[in-house]
Structure 1
Amino acid sequence: MKPRLVFVHGIGGPRDPVADLDEWLRAVAAGAGAAGHSAKISGLTGGWAADARFAYYGDLFRAAGSQGAGGAAAGPGEEDDELLAGLLLEAVDARLADSSSDPDAALSATEARALRHARTQLAPPSGAQGAGAPARRVVNAVTTLLAVPGVRALGGWLSARTTAGMLGQVARYLNRAEPDATGATLDQRIRARVAACLDPEGPNVVVAHSLGTVVALETLHEALPASPDGRHPGVPLLITLGSPLGIRTAVQPRVRPHPLATPDSVGRWLNFWDRDDLVAARPHLEDFVRPNAAAVAPSSRRVDSDGAWVHPAAKYLAQPHVAGPLMEALTTLGER
């Protein structure tokens, strides 16, 4: 049986899911070639090694009934801004802590200065002038953080306000609000999109990035049960990239079910992180994610990308340490 390969994207603006699927597959192909799987690349890009799907939900962050191409982005509320400020603060603290304890994670003077300044903007001293509302604190801090590689990759040429809005998608998902006319909240509608891409009969290989790692985790808990014999899980391989699941105060308590656990449908979970990826704060997921009934827990592995643009999914997928296990899983499943 040809396995289903499901890509789950993270934050960002409007996407072309067909173009993104092609970009992600080409990135995997590049990584697979570097990992010694050149002979298998044509099967991946040609579509006979896997039934590849791109689970797109980015349009759900657009305002209902808005005017213009693609609609205007729905703005976050104050609760979302507070959550985003807490998420950024913890990510900044984790990066600063890593830089002081790990010589390999040393920061440049510019990066360290930007992180410390952003921290003060996010959590100004009591009574400080210009502390302001959470939305203003977030935008000011993001303006500062655009000098840091892990966030600059998210912002690119966009304004700090637009970048803050994209980062705020994590908060909007976790706040479980914004019901539609049927009463389905934003997070429920997003998970439904991902669930629709899964093959209920399996096997599925799921590759999730950034916010998509939270979405995929929750979707797999809901949508796919464990196999009756435990030997043929519905998701033989789950790969997470640049995940914010390690953020203890702003993310973990809001993820469902709680405490965090590996879905019973998952047979293997590989989690990849780059030390310069600010979003992947506290990346060792096995430290706090409980194993499932088959004793499957996340296995976190660091990758090191060249240059400043480390967070995008394609950057991770082009890593041979990411693409290699993915290709091996697809090959094994295709031979059954």
Structure 2
Amino acid sequence: MKPRLVFVHGIGGPRDAAADLDEWLRAVAAGARAAGHSAQVSALTGGWGADARFAYYGDLFRTAGAQGGPAGTAEEQDDELLAALLLEAVDERLADPALDPAEARALHAARTRLAPPGGAQGTGAPARRAVNAVTSLLAVPGLRSVGGWLSARATVGMLGQVARYLNRGETDGTTTLDQRIRARVADCLDPDGPNIVVAHSLGTVVALETLHEQAADVPLFVTLGSPLGIRTAVQPRVRPHPLGTPGTVRRWLNFWDRDDLVAARPLLEGFVRPNADDVVPASRRVDSDGAWVHPAAKYLAQPAVAGPLVEALTTVAER
């Protein structure tokens, strides 16, 4: 049986979905070779080992839609949520006792900008705080490649996609932005066959919610660099609430890197409820080299990630 392999991307600018699919598959192939699965690589990259799909929704973020209510309300809500998300991620990182002193200084500077003393900050304050905080974060070598050396304002725009999704607005008159995004992922799932779903960053939230709405069989769900653990800005807004494993997921592996600021509170099994088959996330740490560890390809090239993924594809295909 040929399984469906569905990749779900995270934040970012416009993408070439075909190029990204090729990059992600090549990263998995590299990780599979390192994990001792060279024999399965040609089946993966050649297309006969899995029907690979890239669930692309980035174009839906190009134009902000109206949420209703007073002018500017939707944008202000997004900015507030982004500032809260950044603040919690910074606090979680600051709690690491092994933190490098230079990074700690930048994080403290970012925190001061996100939560300045003095009370009210005036109109547009959340957006300014977020940009100022990211300016501090971009001074850290391990963080400044987020978005590919973009400016702080452009980086905030990309990070703001998380808030835009979770605030459930931007209607086109029929559906909201988050509904249109999940529809793109649902279209990539095989309703009749097994699906291996691999989601990254914001895509982990999108994929989780989509799988709760769909009946597709999912032998393996893989999450990479997930923000699902962020208590105040993400968890309460994810649906259904409280967080739980989708009913059709038979195994869930969650990977995180210590240097991935987005994956704050990465041990998802501590608060995700099991499904009827007692499936909960199994969180595993990986350690990538390089200045910026968050990209999906960095995770997928890890033997600890690619190995179980290829093994699951092989097991399903042999049934």
Distance in 1 between the 2:279 and 2:24 partners?
26
> What residue in structure 1 maps to residue 92 of structure 2?
94
Q: State the Cα distance separating 1:162 from its structure 2 match.
A: 0.5
Identity percentage of aligned residues: 81
Answering whether residue 153 of structure 2 is matched by residue 153 of structure 1, we say no
Distance in 2 between the 1:150 and 1:79 partners?
29
- Aligned letter for 2:240? P
**Is the CA contact (8 Å cut-off) linking 2:10 and 2:202 kept in structure 1?**
yes
Answering whether residue 204 of structure 2 is matched by residue 188 of structure 1, we say no
What TM-score do you get using the length of structure 1 for normalisation? 0.90
> What residue in structure 2 maps to residue 258 of structure 1?
241
**Is the CA contact (8 Å cut-off) linking 1:271 and 1:285 kept in structure 2?**
yes
Distance in 1 between the 2:235 and 2:29 partners?
33
Backbone CA RMSD of aligned residues? 1.8
In 2 relative to 1, CA 216–48 (structure 1 residues): closer, same or farther, beyond 3 Å? Answer: same
- Aligned letter for 2:52? A
Answering whether residue 265 of structure 2 is matched by residue 267 of structure 1, we say no
Answering whether residue 114 of structure 2 is matched by residue 122 of structure 1, we say yes
1:123-167 deviations in Å (ceiling 9; x for gaps): 011259899710000000011111235642323221110000000
Q: State the Cα distance separating 1:108 from its structure 2 match.
A: 2.0
In 2 relative to 1, CA 304–148 (structure 1 residues): closer, same or farther, beyond 3 Å? Answer: same
1:4-42 deviations in Å (ceiling 9; x for gaps): 000000000000000000000000000000000011100
Q: 1:41-56, aligned counterparts within 5 Å? A: 41-56=41-56
Number of residue pairs matched by the alignment: 312
Distance in 1 between the 2:293 and 2:103 partners?
15
Q: What secondary structure sits across from 2:218 in the alignment? A: coil
In 2 relative to 1, CA 62–129 (structure 1 residues): closer, same or farther, beyond 3 Å? Answer: closer
**More divergent stretch after superposition (248-257 vs 128-137):** 128-137
**Is the CA contact (8 Å cut-off) linking 1:7 and 1:53 kept in structure 2?**
yes
Q: Out of 135, 150, 171, which is 1:179 matched to?
A: 171
**Is the CA contact (8 Å cut-off) linking 1:121 and 1:141 kept in structure 2?**
yes
- Aligned letter for 1:266? V
Distance in 2 between the 1:210 and 1:56 partners?
14
Distance in 2 between the 1:110 and 1:130 partners?
31
**Is the CA contact (8 Å cut-off) linking 2:4 and 2:50 kept in structure 1?**
yes
Q: What secondary structure sits across from 1:147 in the alignment? A: coil
Q: Out of 196, 202, 212, which is 1:211 matched to?
A: 202
1:86-124 deviations in Å (ceiling 9; x for gaps): 000000000011x22xxxxx2222211000000000001
Q: Out of 248, 254, 260, which is 2:231 matched to?
A: 248
Distance in 1 between the 2:58 and 2:284 partners?
28
Q: State the Cα distance separating 1:309 from its structure 2 match.
A: 1.5
Unaligned 5+ residue runs, structure 1?
A: 66-74, 101-105, 226-233
> What residue in structure 1 maps to residue 70 of structure 2?
none
> What residue in structure 2 maps to residue 289 of structure 1?
272
- Aligned letter for 1:185? T
In 2 relative to 1, CA 266–219 (structure 1 residues): closer, same or farther, beyond 3 Å? Answer: same
